[in-house]
Chains A and B, each alone.
Chain A
Amino acid sequence: MKYVDEYRDQFAAGTLAEEIRHRITRPWTIMEVCGGQTHAIVRFGLDELLPEQLTLVHGPGCPVCVTPVGLIDQAVALALLPRVIFCSFGDMLRVPGSRENLFAVKTAGGDVRIVYSPLDALKLAQAHPDREVVCFAVGFETTAPAYAMAVTQAKRLGLTNFSLLAAHVLVPPAMEAILSAPGNRVQGFLAAGHVCTVMGYEEYEELAARYRVPIVVTGFEPVDVLEGVTMLVRQLEEGRANVENQYVRSVRRQGNEEARTIIEEVFEPSNRAWRGIGEIAASGLRLKPAYAAYDAAIKFRRELGAGVGEARENPECQSGLVLQGLLKPTECPAFGVRCTPEQPLGAPMVSSEGACAAYYRYRRQPSHAGVEKDEQREV
């Protein structure tokens, strides 16, 4: 596929890995923020091409993984209501709640639909005026404009049976939480290319300056990731802490202005709990008061108040440490034994971007650097 295959070229990857080996003179620890990058690294064995002095730690950039258990419980409570058609991306269905997950609700006859786009949910609302369509709005800044567009389109169409269970999270506050945590060891970031496609990278310039940490906005194919690492190592070795853009074919400094405008029209920042990490100030998005009619948390306040018990995490799941880059998935005693994609203890084992899922899928057998571990590719 054009603009994909070129960035999987083995020679380009080898050349960049050689460049990194040539440049590096001492140990560095860097974090790839996005779970999509984690999957590219594990799937293509990119970490095995890198010199030993370079430690890659996996970041919290998997929105499915960081959605707090309390919100999963709310989703389950809404999906159990007979008049509700509950729409979600497929990743969310097996994520454990305190008592059950959306997949169990669906299996028991609940009307849970897997959608590819928020516009699919909008079409369901048009087709079923007698039902309430609730969409689980999970994602980072990349996904927020799609939901904002769906809400403004629902308003334009006069649909009153469409609402969002808003669960969006924002990347820069999480990066700041990592940088300001005691014992932080991250010295540079590969920032998430598609988040920055939407938001641009001006807000990262402030982070880089305040924490003296280099940040390289990076794409998702193997050559992108290796070029991002090369640029980061070059900055670290030269003592620079700037924001640079590897993913120039998609990211502009100011981002996508249409997308930013529609996000600001519909959403506003709110405090948000991150699963396994805790609450981070102004790290989520909620619907603005002008769009309260599309907010499922307000629309179904009574049902949610009665139907959701106390949120409980599985105490054996160590996803909080995995999401902060403090534990490798394979270091968890439950990994692959009591925690598998079919029977997960926590979200990182089921999300298509979860670090535990990446290691389970690609690293259960001895790997060979550069050999793609699995031919399947989601589109």
Chain B
Amino acid sequence: MCLAVPGQVVKIDEDQLRTATVSFGGITKDVSLALVPEAVVGDYVIVHVGFAISKLDEEAARRSLELFEAMRAAQAGPDGQGDGKSRMAPS
């Protein structure tokens, strides 16, 4: 019920609901941007039941992904690939 997914704003109609075309990995849907007035074309938004509920902070996402990289490097053995014991198996 609280499932919400990130998508990229492709086009915005400035109607009452700020209806936008949002792409989810190539699949597009109409989404209201009324609750995220700051979002513009090219931004990523988190979408729930037809409404964007936040503009995704790409800078914050980049920082957290860099942190994971740094943690991995700190744990890695001499081959740079970690100890190989705790990785998720390939899906």
Contacts and interface: CB of A to CB of B under 8 A. Distances in A.
Interface of A: 1-4, 6, 8-19, 21, 34-36, 44-45, 49, 61-64, 89, 91, 116-120, 138-140, 142-143, 145-146, 149, 153, 156, 192, 194-195, 197-198, 220, 222-223, 227, 248-252, 256, 258-259, 262, 351-353, 368-372, 378-379
B32 interface: yes
Contacts of A4: 5-6
Nearest to A17: B86
B5 to A, nearest CB: 6
A227 B72 CA distance: 13
Contacts of B37: 258
A89 B50 CA distance: 12
B36 interface: yes
A250 B7 CA distance: 13
Contact of A195 (B2, B90, B91): B2
Given A142-B1, A249-B64, 19 more contacts: A2-B6, A2-B44, A14-B86, A15-B75, A18-B75, A116-B49, A116-B50, A118-B49, A138-B1, A139-B2, A146-B49, A156-B16, A192-B2, A194-B3, A195-B2, A251-B54, A258-B34, A353-B1, A370-B91
Contacts of A17: 86
A136 to B, nearest CB: 12
Nearest to A141: B2
B24 A1 contact: yes
Contact of B48 (A18, A142, A222, A368): A142
Interface in B16-59: 16-17, 24-25, 27, 32, 34-37, 44, 46, 48-51, 53-54, 56-58
Contacts of B86: 14-15, 17-18, 21, 49
Contacts of B36: 256, 258
Contacts of B90: 10, 371
Contact of B71 (A19, A222, A250, A378): A19
Contacts of A117: 49-51
Contacts of B61: 3, 6, 248-249
Interface residues of B, number: 46
Contacts of A35: 1-2
B12 to A, nearest CB: 16
Contact of B56 (A62, A249, A370): A249
Contact of A140 (B2, B5, B72): B2
B88 A44 contact: yes
A1 B48 CA distance: 16
A256 B17 contact: no
A86 to B, nearest CB: 17
A378 B3 contact: yes
Nearest to B56: A249
Contacts of A251: 54
A36 B75 CA distance: 30
Nearest to A248: B60
Contact of A139 (B1, B72, B88, B89): B1
Contacts of A6: 61, 65
B10 interface: no
B68 A197 contact: no
5 contacts: A2-B6, A146-B51, A370-B88, A371-B89, A371-B90
Contacts of B51: 117, 145-146, 149
Given A10-B89, A12-B72, A371-B89, A259 B35 contact: yes
Contacts of B88: 10, 13-14, 44-45, 49, 222, 369-371
Nearest to B74: A15
Nearest to A261: B35
B24 A250 contact: no
Contact of B32 (A1, A44, A143, A149): A149
A145 B50 contact: no
Given A249-B60, A352-B3, A379-B24, A11 B48 contact: no
B89 A194 contact: no
In order of increasing CB-CB distance, the 4 nearest A-B pairs are: A117-B50, A370-B88, A14-B87, A10-B88
Nearest to B70: A15
A110 to B, nearest CB: 23
Contacts of B35: 145, 149, 256, 258-259, 262
